[in-house]
């Protein structure tokens, strides 16, 4: 019989109600509550609760939606005045709840390389074991010496420091000036079947159909680079159509840029499409111009659907694509490098079905059958080995 543990998931996502960074922790929480564990979660509170958060609540997960109390408000103002960015909104309300619940393991999921060091060090001071899960990294996220020391202390004290790519881990270790002997790489869950329909699409009116599947946030995803690329003479006059799937904070600006560049029907914005396999029934190639990444779900899903991918060499992209063999990697997120990679792909476009087939076989050798179950198993193992050692059902306050 499995021992019952108490898990507390903390999402540090503040800018949006939901995103790809939330998939692993939230699905793992559902998996663990399904195994009979007591699961809690803390997320940023929004005016309208996101449907995926409602799913967690309906499954029996005790979800706290963080809002500012008086002490939190004062701390938030003080942090902004002093230039610190360490505390989450609702930090003190959340910490009181964590200490009261005494979880066997806290899992901090962050859209960057690690969660707040103040939070992790507060958990350590309270004697609560914790794990850091970093979903992305960027060379521009370079901490000051003081903050780097806080990160070193916090991450060394973690039960595990999880990253979604080797590149993210290596960059984090450089950013804090220390190797992390407790680090490991985990996989995010994908939203297509491993047996996804891989029939190669037709070419309507002789057109090659290219998809960019990403939230419309140019700072991270670089869609502005793709529009500038498509505006170049040779691409403007080739039989291609680029479709942007997704929504986000730069939707209006990117559409305005497309209009300014007079791209016309050459480029389409169609909004969010939940049916990933439908996207790849309709398109031949994935084009991502990311300025920074973790391990993009859109890339894993396109590879599983046996499509050709052209991506930038950021995050884990080059860890799942062999340049020129199973896809094409641009050396950097800039128009010149993207042009080089897409041109190399264009020159062998008659071989795309074969390249996609090789890519599909290669990614299936890398990906676990069930990344969520694998991560949940890892959390159980860590909780089992922690000093708190399981819960007394009589003290669970539901």
Report the C-alpha gap between 268 and 310 in whole angstroms: 19
Give me the pLDDT at residue 393, please.
40
Neighbours of 86 (CB within 10 A): 15
- 3-state secondary structure (DSSP) of residue 103: coil
Specify whether the CB–CB gap between 176 and 143 falls below 8 A: yes
Give me the pLDDT at residue 397, please.
33
Query: What are 266-321's pLDDT values in tens digits?
Result: 999 999 999 999 999 999 999 999 999 999 999 999 999 999 999 999 999 999 99
Specify whether the CB–CB gap between 100 and 40 falls below 8 A: no
pLDDT above 70 coverage of the chain, percent: 90
Give me 99's structure tokens: 């200490």
67 pLDDT higher than 90: no
Write 263-269 long-range contacts (CB < 8 A, 24+): 263/227, 263/230, 263/231, 263/236, 265/241, 266/230, 266/236, 266/240, 266/241, 266/242, 267/227, 267/230, 267/241, 267/242, 267/243, 268/241, 268/242, 268/243, 268/244, 269/216, 269/243, 269/244
Strands 105-110 and 130-134: parallel
395 pLDDT higher than 50: no
Which residue segments constitute the domains of the chain, with CATH numbers given?
A: 6-190+369-395 (3.40.50.2000), 204-366 (3.40.50.2000)
Give me the pLDDT at residue 2, please.
67
Query: What are 101-132's pLDDT values in tens digits?
Result: 899 999 999 999 988 898 899 999 999 999 99
Using alpha carbons, select from 2, 6, 1 the residue that is nearest to residue 383: 6
60 pLDDT higher than 60: yes
Outline where 251-293 has alpha helix (H): 251-260, 276-282
- 3-state secondary structure (DSSP) of residue 378: helix
Give me the pLDDT at residue 367, please.
96
């Amino acid at each position: 019989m499995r021992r019952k543990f108490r898990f507390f998931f903390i999402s540090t996502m503040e800018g949006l109600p939901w995103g790809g960074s939330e998939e692993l922790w939230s699905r793992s929480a559902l998996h663990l509550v399904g195994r009979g564990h007591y699961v809690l979660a803390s997320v940023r509170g929004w005016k309208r609760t996101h449907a995926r958060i409602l799913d967690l609540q309906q499954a029996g997960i005790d979800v706290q939606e963080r809002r500012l109390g008086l002490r939190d408000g004062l701390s938030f103002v003080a942090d902004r005045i002093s230039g610190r960015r360490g505390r989450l909104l609702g930090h003190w309300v959340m910490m009181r709840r964590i200490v009261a619940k005494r979880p066997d393991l806290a899992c901090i999921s962050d859209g960057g390389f690690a969660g707040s060091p103040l939070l992790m060090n507060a958990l350590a001071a309270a004697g609560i074991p914790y794990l850091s899960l970093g979903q992305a990294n960027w060379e521009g996220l370079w901490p000051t010496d003081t903050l780097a020391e806080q990160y070193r202390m916090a991450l060394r004290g973690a039960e595990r420091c999880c990253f979604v790519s080797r590149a993210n881990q290596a960059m984090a270790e450089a950013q804090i000036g220390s190797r992390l002997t407790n680090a490991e790489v985990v996989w995010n869950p994908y939203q297509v079947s491993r047996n996804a329909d891989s029939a190669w699409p037709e070419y309507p009116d002789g057109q090659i159909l290219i998809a960019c599947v990403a939230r419309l946030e140019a700072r991270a995803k670089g869609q502005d680079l793709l529009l500038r690329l498509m505006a170049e003479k040779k691409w403007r006059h080739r039989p291609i159509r680029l479709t942007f799937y997704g929504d986000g904070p730069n939707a209006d600006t990117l559409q305005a840029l497309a209009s300014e560049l007079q791209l016309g029907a050459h480029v389409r914005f169609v909004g969010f499409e939940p049916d990933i396999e439908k996207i790849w029934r309709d398109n031949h190639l994935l084009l991502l111009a990311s300025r920074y990444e973790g391990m993009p779900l859109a890339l894993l899903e396109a590879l599983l659907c046996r499509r050709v991918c052209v991506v930038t060499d950021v995050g884990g992209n080059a860890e799942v694509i062999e340049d020129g063999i199973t896809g094409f990697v641009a050396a950097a997120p800039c128009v010149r490098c993207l042009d080089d990679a897409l041109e190399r792909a264009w020159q062998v476009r008659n071989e795309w079905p074969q390249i996609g087939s090789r890519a599909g076989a290669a990614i299936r050798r890398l990906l676990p059958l069930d990344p969520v179950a694998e991560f949940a198993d890892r959390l159980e193992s860590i909780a089992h080995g922690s000093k708190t050692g399981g819960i007394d059902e009589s003290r669970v306050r539901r």
